[in-house]
Structure 1
Amino acid sequence: MSIGENAIKAPPAPELMLTALDVQKGEPVHPLDRLMIMSADEWEIFTLELVFYFDKHYEQVTRCAGAGDKGRDVIARFSSGWDNYQCKHYGRKLNVADVVAELGKLVFYTWRGDYTLPQEYRFVTPKGCSSDCIDMLVNKSRIKTEIIARWDVECRDKITKTESILLEGDFLDYLNSIDFSFVDEMSSLELVDKHQQTPYHSSRFGSYHLKRPQLKKDVPVSVGDNEKIYIEALLHAFSDVDGKEYSHADALTSDYAEDLERARINFFSAESLEVFSRDAFPEGCYRELKEDCYEGLHSLVRQEHRNGYERFLKVSTQAVNVPYDSHPLVHYIRPSDRKGLCHQLVNDRKIKWVRR
């Protein structure tokens, strides 16, 4: 090695599990980056998808697109009022002037009586707000000050094409009466997080960017409460071969020791997949996976077998071959998960190794 050269250490192994899709396609487009490449129209539709499935249970969500929207983009109505989601898809961060221009419309049209003040007014933008704009949205009293100071430049001749709106008299009094505490932004992270709760998320962002953590190599030494049913069923299956009663300790010193050890590894593998699914996919996704697994195994479970141990072995073998091609988790499921699903179904009392 020459003087001044330093050996480069090998990079650490990834903490996240690689799938075939990762190797085929390479690094995916991150959801936050995908926000940036949407068109202005796509951005409003994205916001519409998001708002429609908010937890507030809005009675009606409407997109007011194009000219004549009077400063409203996506409006959400409920019994006691409405909320406004103002979509701004710029190639830069939202600044104070942008906010003033939009709120100027709100002030004018509510003063004129075209609509009432919303209960919440959220700016929805992929790059967020500038630091000065954030400061203003934190210090709400500054919003009114900025509107008044910037009115002539940002609002007076830009709200309508037919008139110049002077900030004076009753109109100025009306502006001064408004408490702008209902105005805020939605961060990019919040947008993506909330959009994950909608049925549109996978089709818009895909699941490609989701990474499953690597499996832990060691299972807990002691048997947990969530393992007792499927382990008891396995011990019963072992007993069904030779009539001997097996405890957990007995099985670990018998010919069935590897079966029991692999069963626990597979069970915890499936449990980790369930946690990943719950955190990253829509509600019910993993439940559907278990239903697909059960459907793929049902006929074999129902067939006659010489004993419960034979049923366990044949069903476990078949479990590895159950197709999940149409399921969202298809790129994340491994053979150990497939076998572990069987034990979860035993826990759910949908599968029995010994039928009598």
Structure 2
Amino acid sequence: MAGALEPGRDGARPVFENIPEPESPAVVVTAPSMQGAPIPTPQQYLAYIFNADDWENFTVEWVRALGSHEGRPYLRVKRMGGAGDRGADVAAVLTPQGTGGEWHCYQCKHYSKPFTQADAWPEMVKIFTAKILGEYELPTRYVFVAPRIGQTLDRLLIHPEKLKREFFESWDKDGSKLGADLDSAVRDAVGALARRTDFSMFQAPDMDNILELHATTPHHLRRFPQPLKPRPAADPAPSEQAPSEAVYVRKLLNVYNEKHGLGLETLQQARAHEKVKPHLARQREAFFHAEALRLFARDSVPDATYEAIEEDLYEAVIEIEDDDHDDGYDRLKAVLTAAAAHKPNSYNILAPVVKVIDLKGMCHHLANNDRLTWCKEEPSP
């Protein structure tokens, strides 16, 4: 900032720079480091492999999880970034007023050395200056996010009064560079604001705690390739039809009615009919196995990872589904046979935990979404 800047005419207001949100997560793949070489720890990724953009995107992912974890989800988490961020790399807002209301500031510092008070003081000056100039309201929480916090600064951050005292020792000394580029009136106002501020707003969480919470998000495996956690067993199919089963069950009933000349209208009627009961039970078991895989993937990896498995299967069976068959039963049987023989792409981290029954069940999920259909008008012989 060179000299004084004009405060906003409307007072403190949200400032969201035109910085794109982090890109949608890509498919999680089996990383080369998992093929036999030692796997870097998350701490090593953070310190030595991440760049500044990775660090800010990682922080956004963690902050979103933090809001939900603390029981007061943020209305929006915005990566500000860039030269015009006015001391806020990531803004997490708690009211519709954005940074003009209650909000938390997360300042991302990805240095090769520990982050010290000499690094912190200028950042603190920036946020006080932004308030004086009407760019933001002062955040109620200001968090330094760095791979390593220097021991002296770490001790100061848990002793807010001492932190404040040492900040002003640097601010008040002759020839201080803190705020030296500000207009004298603005610098005086910044100093006055800082003196009446409770410095407990400044924090620096432990990196192990950050990683522990980030590990609960689907982004963790994409950021830090590690073996998947064990997949839990699938729940059995419920005795009553679940709302999510409506479409694929109706398509199965059409198959049974066409093949056996039945008039089945409900799942319960089909479950009571000896000709179709075993087949129906297997299809429902497969559907819920695939659903269990989907939920496991949802909680473990970004959505695109599971979607890639399902899309690959669709491409493997769609030509068979579209081919001519004697009836819907033969079409269904041919598709399920092809699905059972299909091998998911080995690069996908989910591939090792996908079972044959999951692949059959995914066919019913695709039928549920009207991408596959069994009973069609067959051509005349």
**Secondary structure of the residue that 1:122 maps to in structure 2?**
strand
TM superposition shift of 1:265: 1.2
C-alpha separation between the residues in 2 aligned to 1:108 and 1:60?
18
TM superposition shift of 1:304: 1.4
C-alpha separation between the residues in 1 aligned to 2:283 and 2:129?
71
Among candidates 34, 42, 53, match of residue 42 of structure 2: 34
TM superposition shift of 1:145: 3.3
TM superposition shift of 1:263: 0.9
* Aligned residue in 2 for 1:334: 355
* Aligned residue in 2 for 1:10: none
- Structure 2 unaligned spans of 5+: 1-29, 65-75, 181-187
* Aligned residue in 1 for 2:55: 47
**Secondary structure of the residue that 1:121 maps to in structure 2?**
strand
Determine if contact 1:237/1:353 at 8 Å carries over to the other structure: yes
C-alpha separation between the residues in 2 aligned to 1:274 and 1:198?
12
C-alpha separation between the residues in 1 aligned to 2:339 and 2:230?
21
* Aligned residue in 1 for 2:252: 234
Among candidates 331, 335, 343, match of residue 315 of structure 1: 335
TM superposition shift of 1:300: 0.7
Determine if contact 1:60/1:77 at 8 Å carries over to the other structure: no
TM superposition shift of 1:134: 8.5
Taking structure 1 as the reference length, the TM-score comes to 0.64
Determine if contact 2:56/2:108 at 8 Å carries over to the other structure: no
- The yes-or-no answer on 1:220 pairing with 2:238 is yes
TM superposition shift of 1:127: 7.2
* Aligned residue in 1 for 2:73: none
TM superposition shift of 1:241: 2.0
C-alpha separation between the residues in 1 aligned to 2:91 and 2:260?
67
Quick one: which amino acid aligns to residue 317 of structure 1? Answer: T
C-alpha separation between the residues in 2 aligned to 1:156 and 1:331?
63
Aligned pairs (5 A) from 1:155-304? 175-180=194-199, 182-188=201-207, 189-190=209-210, 193=213, 202-206=221-225, 208-216=226-234, 218-246=236-264, 248-304=268-324
Determine if contact 1:104/1:151 at 8 Å carries over to the other structure: no
C-alpha separation between the residues in 1 aligned to 2:222 and 2:348?
13
**Secondary structure of the residue that 2:82 maps to in structure 1?**
strand
Determine if contact 1:235/1:251 at 8 Å carries over to the other structure: no
Taking structure 2 as the reference length, the TM-score comes to 0.61
Cα deviation code 1:148-167 (max 9, x no counterpart): 1587699979x869x9xxxx
C-alpha separation between the residues in 1 aligned to 2:127 and 2:368?
59
C-alpha separation between the residues in 1 aligned to 2:252 and 2:125?
73
Cα deviation code 1:59-90 (max 9, x no counterpart): 742389xxxxxxx7957799959945243779
TM superposition shift of 1:243: 1.4
C-alpha separation between the residues in 1 aligned to 2:48 and 2:197?
30
Q: Percent identity?
A: 19
**Secondary structure of the residue that 1:260 maps to in structure 2?**
helix
Among candidates 43, 58, 62, match of residue 82 of structure 2: 62
* Aligned residue in 1 for 2:325: 305
Please provide the CA RMSD for this pair.
4.9
C-alpha separation between the residues in 1 aligned to 2:350 and 2:222?
14
Determine if contact 2:111/2:147 at 8 Å carries over to the other structure: yes
With over 3 angstroms needed to count, the CA separation of the structure-2 counterparts of 1:354 and 1:84, relative to structure 1, is closer
TM superposition shift of 1:202: 4.7
* Aligned residue in 1 for 2:144: 123
C-alpha separation between the residues in 1 aligned to 2:157 and 2:111?
20
With over 3 angstroms needed to count, the CA separation of the structure-2 counterparts of 1:38 and 1:50, relative to structure 1, is closer
With over 3 angstroms needed to count, the CA separation of the structure-2 counterparts of 1:310 and 1:134, relative to structure 1, is farther
- Alignment size in residue pairs: 310
Quick one: which amino acid aligns to residue 256 of structure 2? Answer: F
With over 3 angstroms needed to count, the CA separation of the structure-2 counterparts of 1:270 and 1:212, relative to structure 1, is farther
C-alpha separation between the residues in 1 aligned to 2:172 and 2:211?
29
Worse-matched range after superposition: 288-297 or 249-258: 249-258
* Aligned residue in 2 for 1:87: 109
TM superposition shift of 1:234: 1.7
Determine if contact 1:73/1:87 at 8 Å carries over to the other structure: no
Quick one: which amino acid aligns to residue 266 of structure 1? Answer: A
- Structure 1 unaligned spans of 5+: 1-19, 65-71, 164-169
